[in-house]
């Protein structure tokens, strides 16, 4: 894997881009700490109530000027499409249409966030591209314009305009930063992520939930009340947060997920949950665990993940940003 700094150095040495103009930005993953699906909208999207936090786990997006009117993308993951279907280039087109910018740009993406995981990697890349282009072009778009562009690109995109934990409602376009006291309770907390080699397509998960009928959705008033109780209780641990509605369909179809979750709960006494539409699962580190014990649990969990899901599984020890 070529690091962003090495890629920039090579590109500049070859005279492709001037080194002084390179922007290197972190593009973080997100974790749905809780996710209630409370109904289906007339436009086909679903109504959500979620507490979401960025993660220290992040991709790196390097952005450099290119020939006027052009845009290109390279990636260290050869399996990732780098054509117009990629959200980074879709973000560039949306930015150009709104801002009237006529310059050129080249993006290089270094991937660490797994795909099909429910961690928002593609959405984060798109929003990071918007922020980079605003700096590169010197347009300084207003917050409302940036939010509108992000919402146009995808339901998860607006949350990446914030710098910390947020409450997400609607289809994802209604973002509200949490109170400072809540942010302090969330930020910096250790968390383990683990995912099988395969992913889950978000449209499939929501279609499957819709097929179960109205009773599959959470009641809006109950979802809001449960989240409000947790937010108001400074002593409430992360494990006391409400769960994820989409686990019902994901765990019902992909039995490898609940099988490992049950094993981890029984043997390591960790509460396992799923982020977004999956397939990435996560577990919070217990409060007040000393570093040696934390390292031991990390290795025990890592061993169980690879034993259950094979060498192609993904595992990361990270933290809530």
Token pair 């940036």 is found at 146
Dist. CA 50–CA 73, nearest whole Å: 32
**Cβ–Cβ under 8 Å, residues 37 and 218:** yes
Choice among 59, 134, 156, 195 that is catalytic: 156
Is the bond preceding 279 in cis, omega lying within 30 degrees of 0?
yes
Annotation marks residue 30 as catalytic = yes
Q: Which two tokens stand for residue 5?
A: 């700094």
Tell me the H-state helices in 105-246: 121-137, 143-153, 180-186, 202-211, 220-232
**Cβ–Cβ under 8 Å, residues 318 and 26:** no
Annotation marks residue 156 as catalytic = yes
End-to-end CA distance of the chain: 24
Selection from 23, 87, 27, 76 nearest residue 55 by Cα? 27
Token pair 């928002």 is found at 120
Choice among 30, 59, 134, 195 that is catalytic: 30
Q: What is the dihedral of CA 315, 207, 212, 276, to 10 degrees?
A: 30
Q: Which two tokens stand for residue 10?
A: 């090579």
DSSP code, position 69: T
Catalogue the active-site residues: 30, 156
């Amino acid at each position: 894997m070529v690091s962003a700094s090495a890629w920039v150095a090579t590109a500049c040495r070859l005279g492709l881009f001037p080194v002084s103009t390179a922007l290197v930005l972190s593009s973080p993953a997100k974790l749905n700490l809780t996710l209630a699906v409370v109904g289906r909208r007339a436009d086909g999207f679903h109504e959500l109530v979620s507490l979401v936090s960025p993660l220290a786990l992040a991709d790196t997006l390097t952005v450099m000027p290119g020939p006027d009117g052009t845009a290109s993308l390279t990636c260290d993951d050869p399996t990732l499409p780098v054509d117009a279907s990629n959200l980074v280039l879709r973000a560039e087109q949306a930015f150009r249409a709104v801002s009237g910018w006529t310059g050129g740009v080249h993006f290089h993406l270094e991937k660490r966030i797994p795909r099909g995981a429910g961690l928002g990697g593609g959405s984060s890349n798109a929003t990071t591209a918007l922020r980079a282009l605003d700096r590169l072009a010197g347009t300084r778009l207003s917050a409302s314009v940036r939010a509108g562009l992000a919402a146009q690109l995808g339901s998860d995109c607006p949350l990446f305009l914030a710098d910390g934990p947020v409450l997400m409602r609607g289809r994802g376009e209604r973002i509200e930063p949490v109170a400072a006291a809540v942010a302090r309770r969330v930020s910096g907390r250790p968390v383990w992520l683990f995912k099988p080699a395969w992913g889950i397509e978000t449209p499939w998960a929501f279609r499957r939930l819709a097929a179960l009928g109205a009773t599959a959705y959470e009641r809006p008033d109950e979802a809001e009340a449960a989240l409000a109780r947790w937010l108001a209780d400074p002593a409430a641990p992360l494990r006391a947060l409400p769960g994820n509605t989409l686990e019902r369909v994901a765990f019902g179809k992909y039995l490898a997920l609940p099988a490992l979750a049950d094993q981890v709960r029984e043997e390591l006494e960790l509460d396992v949950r799923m982020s977004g539409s999956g397939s990435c699962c996560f577990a919070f580190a217990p409060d007040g665990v000393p570093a040696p014990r934390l390292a031991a649990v990390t290795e025990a969990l890592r061993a169980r993940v690879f034993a259950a899901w094979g060498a192609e599984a993904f595992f990361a020890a990270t933290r809530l940003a």
